[in-house]
Amino acid sequence: MTAILQLLQVVFAVGLVFLILMHSGKDAGLSGAFGVGSGTGPLGGGSLVERNLNRWTIAFAVLFVINTIVLIKVS
């Protein structure tokens, strides 16, 4: 059980780092190379891709935190 949770922790961590690097900053960051839009809309996100990227990043962050708490409780 612990080995599976540890493996999931690594997957969540790598995924979270990748998703954060995909976000555009002031200089369009790494996401500019992959065609993520940089325009802003009424809710702060530019395009549908940018909003979905935000949702995936939040989801991975929440899963990472939950998995961390479960790993601490199991140990």
* pLDDT value of residue 23: 85
* pLDDT value of residue 15: 97
* pLDDT value of residue 49: 87
Q: Which stretches of the chain drop beneath a pLDDT of 70?
A: 26-46
Average pLDDT, the chain: 83
* pLDDT value of residue 63: 97
Cα 41 to Cα 53, 55, 73: the distances in Å are 15, 16, 41
Q: 3-17, pLDDT tens digit by residue?
A: 999 999 999 999 999
Chain mean position to CA 13? 9
